[in-house]
């Protein structure tokens, strides 16, 4: 019991001790304690004297119990540091010192416990330990070394990483002077020398990317930083770090070389290549793309979108395509796009757009590749036209061959038959009649040969020379030549074409075309109806269109339209019709890169439209 415990004479002084102190008897009860001890453990104002430490503290470790028992045996255990949580669960680190408690007869009657709050010290030690670990690991993995120079004793110290970077032995003495000698002569050495001088004299720091030559003669790139140290305004030394960035610089240079190679390749490809971000703003444009846009410097297009270089409609079309490619993540390949230039010309592109996808699977933009295929499209068109012309010529050739074969065979058979009759005939009068028939047949053969020769001449003429002629003048020439048949038929010709209309034609071909069509209008006029022939002009794209309308018999265009311009095709049974006029007319106008079509109604009349090509 407390009453049986010796009373300490200086009890009042113990209560005032600045260090938390408690006297514990062998029953583990508190006999006396300083106010500081009661305050630190939240016992102030409470009845704690005479109570066991097991009552006062929620937890008493076995280690604490064993320490007190050792004191009861007269031992002096080493101080221990342990964590303590107060009623508010605030964590504190306490250093416990336990010594035996003696009475006046030097008998052990308990133990004296003293504590010291070492929380800040422990935290600083942990912080220092963490910093040292981080510094060592950062230095090891980042190849970063640190050094310090003290002016007072001219002492230069550095970590092991500095020696590894400089490739010097452990016994090599490094100082502020010879450390500068490791920097490559020239720019690097001058720069570090000036940086150290400026730090000493002007209190400036430095951060430079320089080259060194190690003790083994190897060149390295280093990133060096440093600052001066001052105490009360007086310079006392320097500190700095050195990082080996050789691998980084070499990779950076290799990357730049690869970028340069790739840029050179892209710029010399005969393709327009560009890269856009997710907002369709240009990140890259090769030389072909810049030339097409009429831009000299790539920087003038970087960061701009299609709305900055195209009209709104074109830009919106391109933007819609970009969005579709980036959302679907599916490339748009070899799509033909056209663009109208200000001069009216049309440019055709073969365009591909490919989405750029990052490591996270998200689209970061797209790469576009375009090729101007306008020339190829023109050649393709020309080839199609050539194939069409060749096909048409082949058909004409086959048709011509059939006609020649049929007509010449017909004439040949006729000659053979008449000659056979002549050889077997004895009557002189009959022989004379057969001779007259042979003469007529000969004339018909010559006429046929002349017609065929005209057709061949039209289709084989290699040097068609067109001239600009006044249409009305040429028409008047034709009308003068046809004056007799026009008057005989009581025909009226109405020309609604002004005198200033000129067309590009082969003059003889135009004369023959007008003669054939006007003559046909007279041949196929309606009985007892005076023919009226009306001419007018119109313009369609590159053609000057001359329309010739008559009020003649007309024909069933659905039934005979396909044969209308065929050789030897007649439709009204006229004895003087040979079926060659319209065939020759069609060949002549096509030889001038023009065309002809017709509309007709039975009993109403016909319209012939002559398309004269003004461009070619």
- For the stretch 34-63, pLDDT in tens is 989 888 888 887 888 889 988 888 788 888
pLDDT score recorded for residue 191 = 95
Residue 545 CA to residue 539 CA, distance in Å, equals 6
pLDDT score recorded for residue 482 = 85
- The predicted model gives 160-189 an average pLDDT of 92
Instruction: Name the class of domain 270-372.
Output: alpha beta
Residue 81 or 566, more confident: 81
> Under a CB-based contact definition with an 8 Å cutoff, are residues 307 and 282 in contact?
no
Residue 612 burial (CB count, 10 A): 22
Q: For the chain, give percent helix, strand, coil, nearest 5.
A: 45, 25, 30
Residue 595 CA to residue 162 CA, distance in Å, equals 91
- For the stretch 70-99, pLDDT in tens is 999 999 998 888 887 766 667 888 888 999
Architecture in CATH of 124-249: 2-Layer Sandwich (3.30)
pLDDT tier, 397 (very low <50, low <70, confident <90, very high otherwise)? low
- For the stretch 410-467, pLDDT in tens is 566 667 777 877 778 778 888 788 888 878 777 766 766 665 665 555 555 545 788 8
Residue 310 CA to residue 316 CA, distance in Å, equals 9
Mean pLDDT of the chain: 83
- For the stretch 270-293, pLDDT in tens is 888 999 999 999 999 998 888 888
Q: Are domains 124-249 and 467-613 of this chain identical in fold?
A: no
Q: What is the DSSP letter of 603?
A: T
| Record: fold of 467-613 | Heat Shock Protein 90 (3.30.565)
Please give the model's pTM, rounded to 2 decimal places: 0.44
- For the stretch 203-256, pLDDT in tens is 899 999 999 999 999 999 999 999 999 888 889 999 999 999 999 899 988 988
The closest of 482, 486, 459, 443 to 567, measured between CA atoms, is: 459
Residue 140 CA to residue 135 CA, distance in Å, equals 8
What are the sequence ranges of the domains in the chain? 2-117, 124-249, 270-372, 378-460, 467-613
Residue 455 or 365, more confident: 365
Residue 8 CA to residue 32 CA, distance in Å, equals 9
pLDDT tier, 4 (very low <50, low <70, confident <90, very high otherwise)? very low
Chain centre distance of CA 355: 8
Pick the CATH number of 2-117 from 3.40.50.620, 1.20.1260.10, 3.30.70.1450, 3.30.450.20: 3.30.450.20
pLDDT score recorded for residue 432 = 84
- For the stretch 525-559, pLDDT in tens is 888 899 999 999 999 888 999 999 999 888 877 76
> Under a CB-based contact definition with an 8 Å cutoff, are residues 504 and 614 in contact?
yes
- The predicted model gives 7-26 an average pLDDT of 82
Is residue 577 scored above 50 in pLDDT? Answer: no
Residue 513 CA to residue 463 CA, distance in Å, equals 19
User: Would you state the structure tokens that stand for residue 119, as one six-digit string?
Assistant: 């929380």
pLDDT score recorded for residue 3 = 41
Query: Which single residue is written with the structure tokens 């019709």?
Result: 577
Is residue 394 scored above 80 in pLDDT? Answer: no
């Amino acid at each position: 019991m407390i009453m049986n415990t010796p009373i300490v004479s200086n009890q009042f002084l113990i209560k005032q001790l600045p260090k938390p102190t408690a006297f514990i008897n062998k029953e583990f009860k508190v006999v006396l304690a300083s106010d500081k001890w009661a305050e630190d453990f939240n016992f102030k104002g409470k009845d704690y004297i005479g109570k066991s430490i097991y009552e006062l503290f929620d937890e008493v470790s076995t280690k604490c119990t064993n320490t007190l028992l050792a004191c009861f045996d007269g031992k002096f255990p080493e101080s221990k540091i342990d964590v303590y949580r107060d009623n508010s669960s605030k964590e504190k680190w306490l250093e416990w010192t336990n010594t035996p408690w003696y009475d006046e007869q030097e008998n052990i009657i308990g133990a004296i416990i003293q504590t010291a709050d070492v929380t800040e010290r422990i935290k600083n030690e942990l912080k220092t330990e963490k910093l040292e670990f981080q510094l060592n690991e950062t230095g090891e993995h980042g190849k970063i070394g640190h050094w310090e120079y003290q002016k007072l004793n001219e002492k230069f110290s550095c970590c092991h990483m500095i020696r590894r970077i400089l490739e010097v032995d452990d016994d090599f003495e490094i100082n502020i002077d010879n450390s500068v000698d490791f920097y490559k002569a020239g720019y690097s050495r001058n720069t570090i020398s000036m940086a150290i001088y400026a730090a000493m004299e002007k209190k400036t720091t430095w951060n430079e990317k320089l080259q060194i030559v190690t003790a083994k003669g190897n060149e390295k790139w280093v990133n060096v930083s440093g600052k001066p140290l001052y105490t009360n305004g007086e310079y006392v030394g320097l500190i700095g770090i050195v990082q080996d960035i050789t691998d980084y610089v070499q990779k950076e240079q290799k990357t730049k070389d690869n970028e340069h190679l790739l840029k050179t390749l892209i710029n010399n490809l005969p393709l327009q290549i560009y890269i856009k971000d997710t907002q369709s703003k240009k990140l890259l444009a090769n030389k072909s793309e810049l030339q097409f846009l009429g831009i000299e410097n790539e920087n003038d297009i970087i960061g701009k979108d299609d709305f900055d270089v195209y009209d709104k409609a074109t830009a919106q079309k391109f933007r819609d395509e970009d969005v579709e490619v980036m959302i679907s993540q599916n490339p748009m390949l070899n799509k033909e796009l056209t663009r109208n230039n200000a001069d009216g010309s049309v440019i055709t592109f073969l365009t591909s757009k490919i989405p750029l996808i990052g490591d996270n699977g998200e689209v970061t933009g797209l790469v576009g590749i375009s090729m101007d295929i306008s020339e190829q499209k023109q050649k393709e068109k020309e080839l199609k036209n050539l194939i069409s012309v060749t096909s048409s010529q082949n058909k004409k050739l086959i048709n011509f061959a059939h006609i020649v074969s049929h007509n010449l065979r017909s004439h040949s058979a006729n000659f053979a038959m008449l000659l056979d009759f002549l050889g077997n005939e004895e009557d002189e009068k009959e022989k004379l009649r057969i001779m007259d028939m042979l003469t007529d047949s000969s004339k018909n053969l010559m006429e046929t040969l002349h017609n065929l020769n005209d057709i061949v001449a039209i289709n084989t003429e290699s040097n068609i020379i067109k001239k600009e002629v006044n249409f009305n003048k040429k028409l008047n020439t034709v009308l003068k030549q046809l004056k007799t048949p026009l008057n005989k038929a009581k025909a009226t010709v109405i020309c609604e074409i002004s005198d200033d209309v000129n067309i590009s034609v082969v003059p003889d071909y135009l004369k023959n075309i007008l003669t054939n069509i006007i003559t046909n209008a007279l041949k196929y006029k309606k009985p007892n109806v005076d023919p009226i022939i009306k001419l007018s002009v119109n313009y369609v794209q590159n053609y000057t269109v001359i329309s010739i309308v008559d009020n003649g018999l007309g024909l069933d265009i659905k039934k005979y339209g396909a044969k209308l311009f065929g050789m030897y095709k007649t439709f009204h049974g006229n004895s003087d019709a040979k079926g060659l006029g319209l065939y020759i007319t069609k060949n002549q106008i096509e030889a001038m890169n023009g065309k002809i079509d017709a509309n007709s109604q039975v009993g109403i009349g016909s319209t012939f439209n002559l398309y004269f090509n003004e461009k070619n």
